[in-house]
Structure 1
Amino acid sequence: MTGLRDWVTLYLKGIAMGSADAVPGVSGGTIALILGIYERLIAAVTAIDPDRIVRVLSGARPRNIPDARAAFHEIDGAFLVVLLAGIGTAVVAVLSGVNYLLETRPVATYGFFFGLITASAAVLLGDVELDTPRRKAAAAGGFLLAFLASGYASTALTTSLPVVFVAGAVAVSAMILPGVSGSLLLVVLGQYEYMSGTVSRFVDGLVALALGNGTNALAETIPPVVTFLAGGVLGVFTIAHAVKYALSRARAATIAFLVSLIVGALRAPLVEVSIRLAESGESWRAAAPRFALAAIGGAALVLVLDRHSATIEY
């Protein structure tokens, strides 16, 4: 891949992945599979190690430039930079839009998420095998973990920097796994709405800085954004590798756990809507039609994506 057209195409694929990553229930890893870049992405990510990072950074000295270039090539650095640029562009744009929808249309937005999650779970259930006690235990554990966390996190977890760091580690590592939505895990952890709002204010702060209108919003949002990204870096190098190892050693049990995690997470949008309805005084009976219609739309989107994708291989 050397031509400008190829790099633009890769950037657009990154935008598609980022758009999926920013929406609960849709996996950026699945989009990578559909677009034919998943294996290259995994190879590039797993090729990154401390030694190569040091070699790349040593390129700041002119005499080390040849070795730095070699290390950058070994980790497929150009591919990662362009792809991540596309992902970052989409995540910022989508989260800013989602933040607006959560403020103005929370019931429909969470209904849409519910449909995305339901259809994702239905599509992946065909890959689950529960023919051994170990696999049944893994499935039960995944379901209970997500189900209980969905109810507890929304009301009990804070938005402190340590919590944001852990959320970043879990969510970003999940973004490269087919079938697992990083944003869905943010919803389960009760951090999705907070991070979408933070990213939106961060972008507003950058715009204000560019226009010379002050940096208050930027100063307020830099700590959580940097903390989240730092957690994401840790997640890519630890959790993602751990899950990859688990898949290689106990594939069926790990898939059962991951898919059951998604099923258990169906509680998360319901909890969020219940909180919003309690705040507004509206009843579930009045909100149900909007929720259901949006859920149907979300489910339809996932089913269309699945129809155009190949069988997921872990």
Structure 2
Amino acid sequence: MAGDTQQATGTALGDTLTSWLSIYLKGIAMGTADSIPGVSGGTIAFITGIYERLITAITSVDPAAATLLLGITSGRGRQRLADRLIEMDVPFLVVLGTGVVTAVVAVSRFVYLALQEAPGATFAFFFGLIAASAIVLYEQLSLATPGRIAAAATGFVLAFLVSGVTAGADGIHALPVVFVAGSIAIVAMILPGVSGAFFLVLLGQYEYLTGTLTAFVDGIIAAAVGDRAVGSLLDPATTVVTFVAGAVVGLFTVAHAIRWALDHYRAATLSFLVSLMVGALRLPVIEMRDATATLSPESIAPLLLATVVGGGAVLVLDRYTDDLSY
């Protein structure tokens, strides 16, 4: 009898570990998508079947629960805190978030290197991703009212103007700008179809932030093995923390505002967002032009190939998610 109980407990523990591993891997998939302009982590959450749970968990988080930390000195207080965290599904958010961060750190390093070594082809790849995403989302639109047309026109003009300013420029990377970028980029986890990395590209922060994250991780490794002083991490660490703080604030402000807009003015909101993506295509075009010294079949061919690969990736993804509603 005791052996049966022990076996049942072991099986339950195995099931729990398997479940958490599954959530972690889904977080990696989301983080990979969140790191690439044009692909939405929210879409990956839909595909993997955790979107509703994610939204429910985010909206269930209550800052007032922090008051329970005052009672952690007693066993009863710790139990109350644990019960409240489980009730809000915080363990799910932590495991999923760990997977997202793992992927973001790995993928951002690769993308940053690609931007340094082959900026033209990389931005051509981004162009394909963003253009295909706009095409996919366009199927959801209906510009049947003046309000929707106005929303679409506003989104296009806004993105066209902003992308003209940020393309080819060093950009402003002050901490308040990084904070705002983080609060806007977090929408990728909330809104299927729209990429948070896309907004970073539009705001001229993408290459800077991927480079800063890469430098931060390299600095941590170097400090751990004694090759660099911990103090040298201050600048990249400050930027990373500021971005994360913006993302946290955005999770409970910008993301909720967008969800409200979708619930009440879905067609107009989608019209604005899709047109925003179309207008922003100006930026990768400028970057491709600046990175191409001369126009010739030899220089254009890699750009066309990268564009096709990027667009094809989104279209293939959409092909297997036809039953999902953005």
Shorter chain as denominator, the TM-score bin is over 0.9
Please state if 1:230 is matched with 2:230: no
Correspondence list, 1:185-200, <5 A: 185-200=199-214
Please state if 1:249 is matched with 2:264: yes
Query: Which one-letter code corresponds to 1:25 in the other structure?
Result: G
Task: Supply the distance in 2 between the matched residues of 1:217 and 1:106 (Cα, whole angstroms).
Answer: 28
CA apart distance, 1:216: 5.5
Aligned residue in 1 for 2:17: 4
Distance 1:59 1:283, change over 3 A: farther
Task: Supply the distance in 2 between the matched residues of 1:299 and 1:123 (Cα, whole angstroms).
Answer: 10
Task: Supply the distance in 2 between the matched residues of 1:209 and 1:195 (Cα, whole angstroms).
Answer: 21
Task: Supply the distance in 1 between the matched residues of 2:294 and 2:182 (Cα, whole angstroms).
Answer: 34
Cα distance per residue 1:136-193 (max 9 Å; x no partner): 1111111111111111123374111111111111111333210110000000000000
Given that 2:166 and 2:283 are in contact with CA atoms closer than 8 Å, whether structure 1 keeps it comes out as no
Greater mean alpha carbon deviation, residues 42-51 or residues 263-272: 263-272
Greater mean alpha carbon deviation, residues 21-30 or residues 201-210: 201-210
Secondary structure at 1:26's aligned position in 2?
coil
| Large movers: runs of 4+ above 6 Å | none
Please state if 1:173 is matched with 2:184: no
Aligned residue in 2 for 1:136: 149
CA apart distance, 1:310: 4.1
TM-score (norm 1): 0.93
In structure 2, runs of 5+ residues without a counterpart are: 1-11
Cα distance per residue 1:223-263 (max 9 Å; x no partner): 11001001111110100000011111111111111111111
Task: Supply the distance in 1 between the matched residues of 2:89 and 2:235 (Cα, whole angstroms).
Answer: 35
Aligned residue in 2 for 1:17: 30
Distance 1:260 1:59, change over 3 A: farther
CA apart distance, 1:59: 5.7
Task: Supply the distance in 2 between the matched residues of 1:227 and 1:48 (Cα, whole angstroms).
Answer: 21
Q: Between Structure 1 and Structure 2, how many residues are aligned?
A: 309
In structure 1, runs of 5+ residues without a counterpart are: none
Aligned residue in 2 for 1:300: 312
Task: Supply the distance in 2 between the matched residues of 1:98 and 1:77 (Cα, whole angstroms).
Answer: 31
Secondary structure at 2:139's aligned position in 1?
helix
Greater mean alpha carbon deviation, residues 216-225 or residues 235-244: 216-225
CA apart distance, 1:304: 1.2
Bigger Rg, which one:
2
Query: Which one-letter code corresponds to 2:294 in the other structure?
Result: S
Please state if 1:289 is matched with 2:301: yes
Aligned residue in 1 for 2:94: 81
Aligned residue in 1 for 2:9: none
RMSD between superposed Cα atoms in Å: 1.7
Task: Supply the distance in 2 between the matched residues of 1:173 and 1:106 (Cα, whole angstroms).
Answer: 26
Given that 1:30 and 1:178 are in contact with CA atoms closer than 8 Å, whether structure 2 keeps it comes out as yes
Task: Supply the distance in 1 between the matched residues of 2:302 and 2:193 (Cα, whole angstroms).
Answer: 27
Given that 2:38 and 2:198 are in contact with CA atoms closer than 8 Å, whether structure 1 keeps it comes out as yes
Task: Supply the distance in 2 between the matched residues of 1:284 and 1:226 (Cα, whole angstroms).
Answer: 42
Distance 1:218 1:146, change over 3 A: same
Task: Supply the distance in 1 between the matched residues of 2:71 and 2:205 (Cα, whole angstroms).
Answer: 38
Query: Which one-letter code corresponds to 2:252 in the other structure?
Result: F
Question: Which residue of 283, 296, 321 maps to 1:268?
Answer: 283
Aligned residue in 2 for 1:102: 115
Greater mean alpha carbon deviation, residues 8-17 or residues 217-226: 217-226
